[in-house]
């Protein structure tokens, strides 16, 4: 079994009208990084399942989908808000990115792979039901919510519960909005609390039918590797253990990497490597029954797409090769050591989250 990767040349056709951080060069960086790693990976073309439009309509309103289609068909390059642009190919590109994100769950279901990474753009986690999510000023470069396609497909295939782990440095407000009242979808979102879209509070626990399934981890600006390690051991690992997901979906953004410019969080490639190892080790955890890990690319604009991405992939491989069956338990056991390295504000946040969740999850 290997890690499978999906990418389509179509993703290069969504182009900004002027200089913009979310542009086709992002994927070129990722592909260059892969080439340098000499992994001998066969990059595959995503399929577009026949159910794509049905799933699009479950994630977004018909009016929104039609608006994107109409604007795109006009053939002009324009901004729909101060951050987000649409050009003549955008509808096709974004629909393919969404479709491929459905397809990666089918790949896991068929048993052909347990880890699939979809190198897609435009990103998706800020795209809500009607476009802008939770009162955000903009859609933050996102058109369709790719990981939402993965999650709805996973539910239809009987993978319950689902965990979406979003470690992009921005809050996945679109994902939270779409799954707000769906209790089978746990959304763990770790983000810089001080930046766009300025949402993702600890007290956002889900709608009345889904309380405790939405877990926000708003990190203070200045947080680093040791703060994240503590949060993974005190919050993320115990939740994974308590929820026991059948599948894990990942919104993988690399914009918290130390040379990136959109946040005040500075992570090294070692932390991304740790996350990768944790995820693939979960597949061998005897106490869990996770069928697979389906990963969708979100943000990352500079070195995150080289060193952060590389670290993450190396971690995925290492976790897979080591088959460390007790990774999650070890992590939980080390919580007090890791606490010693964390900032006191981060420790407070961790404790607040535990208190907020205790009535709903056994952590
Ligand atoms: Zn981001």
How many angstroms separate the alpha carbon of residue 334 from the centre of ligand 1?
29
Give the pLDDT band of residue 1 (cuts 50, 70, 90).
low
Q: Please provide residue 93's backbone torsions phi and psi, each rounded to the nearest 5 degrees.
A: -65, -50
Whether 89 is catalytic: no
Q: Give per-residue pLDDT as tens, 248-301.
A: 999 999 999 999 999 999 999 999 999 999 999 999 999 999 999 999 999 999
Rounded to two decimals, the pTM is: 0.98
| pLDDT value at 185 more than 90 | yes
Q: Give per-residue pLDDT as tens, 5-22.
A: 999 999 999 999 999 999
> What is the residue extent of each domain of the chain?
3-357
Per-residue pLDDT, averaged over 196-219, amounts to 98
| pLDDT > 70: percent of the chain | 100
Contact 213, 206 (CB under 8 A): yes
Q: Give per-residue pLDDT as tens, 294-350.
A: 999 999 999 999 999 999 999 999 988 888 889 999 999 999 999 999 999 999 999
Using DSSP, state whether 296 is helix, strand or coil. Answer: strand
Residue with tokens 């889900």: 206
Whole-number mean pLDDT of the chain? 97
Residue 76: its pLDDT value, please?
Answer: 86
Using DSSP, state whether 178 is helix, strand or coil. Answer: helix
Q: What is the rounded CA–CA span in Å between residue 359 and residue 43?
A: 44
CATH of 3-357, one of 3.40.800.20, 3.90.1300.10, 3.30.1050.10, 1.10.20.10: 3.40.800.20
How many angstroms separate the alpha carbon of residue 170 from the centre of ligand 1?
4
| pLDDT > 90: percent of the chain | 95
How many angstroms separate the alpha carbon of residue 333 from the centre of ligand 1?
31
| CA-angle at 285, arms to 284 and 289, nearest 5° | 90
Q: What is the rounded CA–CA span in Å between residue 218 and residue 203?
A: 11
Q: Give per-residue pLDDT as tens, 158-175.
A: 999 999 999 999 999 999
Using DSSP, state whether 167 is helix, strand or coil. Answer: coil
Q: What is the rounded CA–CA span in Å between residue 187 and residue 164?
A: 5
How many angstroms separate the alpha carbon of residue 299 from the centre of ligand 1?
4
How many angstroms separate the alpha carbon of residue 104 from the centre of ligand 1?
21
Give the pLDDT band of residue 23 (cuts 50, 70, 90).
very high
**E strand residue ranges, 18-141:** 43-44, 78-79, 85-86, 115-118, 127-128, 131-132
Residue 34: its pLDDT value, please?
Answer: 96
Contact 294, 247 (CB under 8 A): yes
126, 171, 187, 191: the catalytic one is: 126
Cα radius of gyration rounded to whole Å, the chain: 19
Q: Give per-residue pLDDT as tens, 38-63.
A: 988 889 999 999 999 999 999 999 99
What is the 8-class DSSP label of residue 46?
P
């Amino acid at each position: 079994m290997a890690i499978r990767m999906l990418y389509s040349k179509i993703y290069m056709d969504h182009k900004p009208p002027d200089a913009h951080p979310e542009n086709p060069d992002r994927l070129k960086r990722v592909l260059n990084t892969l080439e340098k790693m000499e992994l001998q990976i066969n990059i595959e073309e995503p399929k577009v399942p026949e159910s794509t439009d049905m799933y699009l309509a479950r994630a977004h309103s018909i009016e929104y989908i039609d608006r994107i289609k109409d604007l795109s068909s006009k053939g002009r390059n324009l901004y729909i808000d101060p951050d987000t642009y649409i050009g003549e190919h955008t509808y096709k590109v974004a629909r393919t990115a969404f479709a491929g994100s459905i397809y990666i769950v089918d790949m896991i279901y068929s048993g052909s792979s347990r880890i699939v990474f979809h190198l897609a753009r435009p990103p998706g986690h800020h795209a809500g039901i009607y476009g802008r999510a939770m009162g955000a000023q903009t859609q933050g470069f996102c058109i369709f919510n790719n990981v939402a396609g993965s999650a709805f497909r996973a539910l239809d295939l009987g993978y319950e519960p689902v965990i979406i782990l979003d470690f992009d440095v921005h809050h996945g407000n679109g994902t939270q909005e779409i799954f707000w009242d769906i209790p089978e979808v746990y959304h763990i979102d770790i983000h810089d609390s001080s930046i766009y879209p300025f949402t993702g509070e600890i007290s956002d626990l889900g709608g009345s039918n889904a309380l405790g399934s939405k877990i926000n981890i708003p990190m203070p600006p200045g947080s680093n590797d040791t703060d994240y390690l503590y949060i993974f051991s005190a919050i993320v690992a115990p939740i994974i253990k308590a929820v026991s997901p059948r599948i894990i979906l990942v919104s993988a953004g690399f914009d918290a990497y130390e040379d990136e410019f959109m946040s005040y969080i500075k992570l090294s490639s070692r932390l991304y490597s740790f996350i990768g190892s944790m995820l693939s080790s979960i597949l061998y955890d005897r106490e869990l029954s996770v069928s697979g890990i389906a990963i969708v690319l979100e943000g990352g604009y500079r070195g995150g797409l080289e060193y952060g991405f590389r670290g993450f992939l190396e971690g995925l491989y290492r976790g897979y090769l080591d088959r460390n069956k007790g990774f999650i338990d070890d992590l939980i056991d080390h919580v007090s050591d890791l606490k010693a390295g964390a900032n006191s504000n981060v420790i407070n946040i961790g404790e607040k989250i535990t208190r907020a969740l205790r009535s709903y999850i056994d952590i």
